[in-house]
């Protein structure tokens, strides 16, 4: 039976070297980002070899996505398996679901063997509020399920309460059985565009029982929020217990939500560091750490082109067309002045790194054209020229300011096209392009 405490950790490490299956923790990493959603989450522990019910409530609109996570072990203190928890296919809501592995770790002090977490997109199986039964987490010899979580994103029709969700996923055991794999949990989320308001972190953790635990912390340059252990944290008592837990003192699954707003200060760009559980008296696996931010604050860069993104900085093949590159807000644009080189020697080409827009200053080039006469047939201002300027005002044509900016405002506008048309038909107009030749009628 569990529990192996850290006081005899050296003996555990020595014994683990004799194990037929050697594994180490898979730290949580940035996996996905969901932008502008409402959400609810729930879970169930103590599944073991039985079934558990996840009850979802609070959905008040159309379900957009639903993510299912589960975790279990194959260990010598459970049965005579092969030491690998490869229970990828389970039953959810009366349908078979096959998940993606989130990585292997130790059994979390349940003897030799390993644990593994899984993820599955079950959007097609979740229609709204209700009970969702999950089973089959111990479908193979030696397997035993810890628990499962369901996170449902929906649209309630009110954009004012939408949130950005950043998912860190893995199977990070806080107690390592290898000298090259440090104890504890840690992760970093960069490029948070914090604009104010509440920030929360929601942890989905396997193997919790009523033992002493260590603290965790969330920190940035603005501050640190430390979450100390209590009688109710990480102890397998925060979700319903299905009644099949192998442990006598916990359901082996927890969902905790923490207010971490204190790690942020004035609006700005932040990197959020998360760490903890370095000296716990229990052994757990962190499967999901979900950061809940105000809409517009979440960074991108999970390697997946998510809804609403033009590109992703970490995708294998960029969705941007050269010379544009993918920026930290998942839009295509310039990253430096070199990206904006237009090949014209006399222009000064710069990149606005805040917006990703290329700027071309041709004031040093003189003017090769005539004010108000940009159309291919040159020499006389006609309605065709006015139409060209109108198209240039909406960026459908390229035109130098010294030819199409008829009032020297610094920008080509529809008013310039109207002035050119009046000039073409002989109405009283003065064309005043910057540094331009005089037009003929």
pLDDT, tens digit, 9 for 90 and up, residues 300-325: 776 778 777 888 887 878 899 888 88
Query: What single DSSP character describes residue 167?
Result: E
Paired tokens of 416: 């310039």
The whole-number pLDDT of residue 231 equals: 86
Percentage of the chain modeled with pLDDT above 70: 90
The whole-number pLDDT of residue 5 equals: 39
Residue 124's nearest CA partner among 132, 115, 116 is 132
Contacts of 186 (CB under 8 A, 6+ apart): 27, 273, 274, 275, 276
Quote the CA–CA distance of 77 and 104 in Å, as a whole number. 18
Contacts of 8 (CB under 8 A, 6+ apart): none
List the chain domain ranges: 6-294, 308-361, 367-424
The whole-number pLDDT of residue 414 equals: 93
Question: Which CA distances in Å does 71 have to 32, 101, 210, 217, 404?
Answer: 19, 10, 19, 24, 65
Quote the CA–CA distance of 366 and 433 in Å, as a whole number. 12
Query: What single DSSP character describes residue 441?
Result: -
List of the chain residues with pLDDT < 50: 1, 3-22, 440-441
Which ranges in 314-428 belong to alpha helices (H)? 383-393, 401-404, 414-424
The whole-number pLDDT of residue 436 equals: 60
Rounded to 10 deg, the angle between the 383-393 and 414-424 helix axes is 180
Contacts of 318 (CB under 8 A, 6+ apart): 311, 325, 326
The whole-number pLDDT of residue 14 equals: 31
Quote the CA–CA distance of 346 and 385 in Å, as a whole number. 25
Query: What are the backbone angles phi and psi of residue 121, rounded to the nearest 5°?
Result: -85, 110
Contacts of 316 (CB under 8 A, 6+ apart): 303
The whole-number pLDDT of residue 24 equals: 55
Paired tokens of 389: 């300027």
Quote the CA–CA distance of 414 and 345 in Å, as a whole number. 29
Count of helix runs (H) and strand runs (E) in the chain? 4, 21
The Cα diameter of the chain in Å comes to: 98
The neighbouring-strand residues paired with 32 are 167
């Amino acid at each position: 039976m569990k529990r192996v405490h850290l006081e005899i950790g050296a003996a555990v490490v020595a014994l683990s070297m004799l194990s037929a299956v050697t594994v180490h923790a898979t730290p949580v990493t940035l996996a996905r980002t969901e932008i502008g959603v409402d959400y609810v989450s729930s879970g169930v522990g103590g599944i073991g070899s039985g079934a558990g019910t996840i009850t979802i409530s609070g959905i008040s609109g159309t379900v957009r996505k639903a993510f299912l996570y589960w975790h279990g072990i194959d260990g010598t203190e459970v049965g005579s398996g092969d030491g690998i928890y490869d229970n990828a296919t389970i039953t959810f809501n009366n349908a078979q679901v096959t998940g993606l592995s989130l990585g292997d770790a130790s059994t979390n002090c349940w003897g030799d063997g390993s644990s593994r977490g899984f993820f599955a997109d079950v959007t097609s199986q979740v229609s709204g509020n209700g009970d969702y039964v999950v089973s089959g987490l111990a479908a193979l010899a030696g397997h035993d399920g810890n628990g499962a979580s369901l996170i449902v994103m929906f649209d309630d029709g009110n954009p004012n309460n939408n949130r950005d969700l950043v998912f860190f996923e893995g199977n990070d055991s806080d107690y390592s059985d290898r000298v090259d794999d440090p104890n504890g949990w840690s992760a970093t989320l960069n490029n948070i565009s914090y604009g104010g308001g509440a920030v929360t972190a929601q942890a989905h953790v396997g193997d919790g029982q009523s033992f002493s635990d260590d603290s965790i912390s969330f920190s940035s340059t603005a501050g640190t929020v430390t979450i100390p252990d209590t009688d109710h944290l990480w102890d397998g008592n925060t979700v319903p217990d299905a009644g099949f837990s192998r442990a006598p003192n916990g359901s082996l699954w927890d969902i905790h939500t923490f207010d971490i707003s204190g790690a942020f200060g004035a609006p700005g760009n932040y990197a959020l560091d998360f760490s903890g559980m370095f000296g716990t008296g229990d052994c757990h696996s962190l499967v999901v750490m979900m950061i809940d931010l105000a809409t517009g604050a979440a960074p991108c860069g999970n390697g997946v082109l998510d809804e609403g993104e033009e590109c992703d900085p970490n995708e294998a093949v960029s969705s941007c067309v050269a010379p544009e590159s993918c920026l930290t807000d998942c839009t295509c644009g310039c990253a430096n002045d070199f990206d904006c080189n237009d090949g014209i020697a006399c222009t000064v080409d710069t990149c606005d790194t805040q917006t990703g827009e290329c700027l071309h200053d041709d004031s040093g080039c003189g003017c090769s054209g005539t004010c108000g006469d940009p159309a291919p047939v040159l020499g006389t201002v006609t309605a065709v020229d006015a139409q060209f300027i109108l198209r240039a005002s909406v960026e459908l044509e390229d035109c130098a300011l010294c030819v199409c900016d008829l009032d020297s405002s610094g920008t080509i506008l529809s008013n310039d096209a109207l002035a050119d048309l009046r000039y073409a038909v002989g109405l009283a107009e003065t064309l005043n392009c910057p540094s331009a030749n005089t037009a003929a009628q």
